[in-house]
Structure 1
């Protein structure tokens, strides 16, 4: 048997649900008020009869009331007529009215508050059940906004075909198309980079052969050096594109990685470059256990330290400081360097691909302009964040925050 409510809209179901709850609450309140009023009225008062004297029969010591006069008999058995009878009746009416006020307003008000609180509690629970799918949509959207690697997630909401399910299905369709689009873009970058590697390698080999020939003139050797420099820059660009494409993929396999070991390894590799540039390399490899792809995390630290060395300015002090540490449920790697002053509004732009400051936008600038873009992409793929703050006097302090390894 089909459920007639299954195809009812969410608005209709909510209307029926809350309408039924309030109707039930009203019936309960009405019954409680009636019971309180009946109990209060019948407990404290006797009914005094008002009637018309038809057959006078005076008793001992009691005068007979006049014929056709209104009379009442009080609880002591005395018969009152005229103004006394009307006064007693008025007192009786006032007592009943006060009883009604006490029962309906005072005790009924308490009952109203109790039943209202009960209805509000049921409404809260029902609304939570009804709005739970919307919370799932919101949580999924936030996870995807926080990390592009979460584009593979879907809500896959089960339940009746209503407005909320339609919203969740539309959201899943949109995310699926975005996922396919980004995946296609990553595949294109990776395939193009692989295809470009072959001609660049072949071109480098031909230039080196021409340079090392015995009959090569000084002009040919000088031209060969320039071509090799340009070729090396293009190879570096392609390598950066490949790493960027890999870092934006979903991490399928992760292993425990201690960033202290990564800091020690990277600083040992770049000590020679730092010495040649006249930059002091300061290391502080504190314990920082996390989980992820070791090669990508090494690339993060390598890019940060290499940028710190390259983007320095000659002066009295030139240094790059690398520190890793464990703080609560997070691990941090902070790279600080001396260098040119960077306006705060330019900091966020440094993480864009191919973006460089000032004269470094020229072709002859250092690097390929992908270093910090790769850092942020890798950090987000590992569920982390990257922040950069300009130092007073020049340079940057860049901090990578990653989840700690619970094991």
Structure 2
């Protein structure tokens, strides 16, 4: 199982809090040492026996004032361990104690003071350390806010429908001219160049396809004139018929390129569309085929371009008819609402040759064909059908998937946002 990763914000907080705690422990240690020295130098004094006064150290031994000679033992108060002593710390005088008790009091006082310093200092360090960690978390979040903004922008662009999507969106980060702003400006520059590249590519495809229509139309006109049954010989009519078929295929290719370029753009307007109506219209327009088409149309409301959605359904149905078996072939087209999500769902299932699962992704690539086994009168594809389907689905914020059947053939499923999810579109009365 993959271990949960620690975010940059968490790492910065740990580093900041760790450094603060190390520095706090160092300060506490220095304070402890200085306090121990101070306690060791406190002036304790005692008056024992018949009037002798002897300043004592924490150990209970007589203290010698700075600059004075040690007091000879013979001049010490003539007391025994049982004599009563008056003990003082600074200007305070304690009750009478024996010399042995004096030593215990002094040692206990020093230990208590050092223990209190250690306990109180640790508590203060813990409280201030927790506050420092919380402050570090807030500061790290504020410092990383521009990065989160960049991430959200990139995520919106990646999830937007259509190839261009929201490529025109920019971060436009304000603030000091630091490394983060430099990264944001570089990201904006990259988006600008990508937007220009995509737009140039679409314009080239659209312009080239449009310009090619004129010579194709002229060629078709010349061929039709040359095929005049009154003047054309059988050889010319056969050649002209072949050239007309080639011309028609080229025209379909150009129309497909134009539609692909159009469908890869985000939609400017959305209209109410019921996939059940679209499917019923497409199926009724199909030519007579040897393959049975089964229709199971339930209400599937969505919003988008009626023209593009009709082309999506048409391409899926024609693809299912084209790649089928010659005997007992069938195609099932169904629409409805997906349980749980409420998405509009279109399913096109067919019999046909077996398709390896590892080749499914290649089905949606332009000009990609997995085989040449085709049946039906509509076997005139140019390799753009499923590419257009995927582009149209993305432009509508939906998805298209393909699953191979164990018996052969495919199950194509298109999911589009439900009509109620688009508040800007009103269902007609």
Q: TM-score, normalized by length of structure 1?
A: 0.77
Q: Decide which of 373, 389, 407 is 1:393's aligned counterpart.
A: 407
Change over 3 Å in CA distance of 1:331–1:187 after alignment to 2? same
Q: Decide which of 330, 342, 349 is 2:362's aligned counterpart.
A: 349
Contact 2:273/2:302 (8 A) holds in 1: yes
Correspondence for 1:89: 106
1:175 matches 2:185: no
Q: Decide which of 382, 407, 416 is 1:368's aligned counterpart.
A: 382
- Secondary structure at the counterpart of residue 236 of structure 1: helix
Q: Decide which of 43, 51, 54 is 1:56's aligned counterpart.
A: 51
Correspondence for 2:95: 77
Correspondence for 1:283: 295
- Secondary structure at the counterpart of residue 361 of structure 2: helix
Structure 1: stretches of 5+ with no match in the other structure: 1-13, 38-46, 58-64
Q: As a proportion of its length, which structure holds more helix? A: 1
Deviations 1:247-293 (A, max 9, x none): 122322222322232222222222xx3xx332222223333332222
Q: Give the Cα–Cα distance (whole angstroms) in 1 for the partners of residues 407 and 108 of structure 2.
A: 93
1:154 matches 2:166: no
Q: Decide which of 287, 307, 311 is 2:323's aligned counterpart.
A: 311
Contact 1:320/1:338 (8 A) holds in 2: no
Contact 1:289/1:326 (8 A) holds in 2: no
Q: RMSD value over aligned CA atoms?
A: 3.6
Change over 3 Å in CA distance of 1:245–1:88 after alignment to 2? closer
Q: TM-score, normalized by length of structure 2?
A: 0.73
Correspondence for 1:379: 393
My pick for the range that moved more, 193-202 or 143-152, is: 143-152
Change over 3 Å in CA distance of 1:278–1:163 after alignment to 2? same
Correspondence for 1:203: 219
Change over 3 Å in CA distance of 1:116–1:326 after alignment to 2? same
- Secondary structure at the counterpart of residue 158 of structure 1: coil
Contact 2:298/2:334 (8 A) holds in 1: no
Q: Decide which of 210, 224, 233 is 2:249's aligned counterpart.
A: 233
1:67 matches 2:77: yes
Q: Give the Cα–Cα distance (whole angstroms) in 2 for the partners of residues 237 and 153 of structure 1.
A: 33
Structure 2: stretches of 5+ with no match in the other structure: 1-11, 36-41, 53-74, 424-429
Contact 1:359/1:365 (8 A) holds in 2: no
- Secondary structure at the counterpart of residue 358 of structure 1: coil
Contact 2:273/2:306 (8 A) holds in 1: yes
Offset, 1:188: 1.1
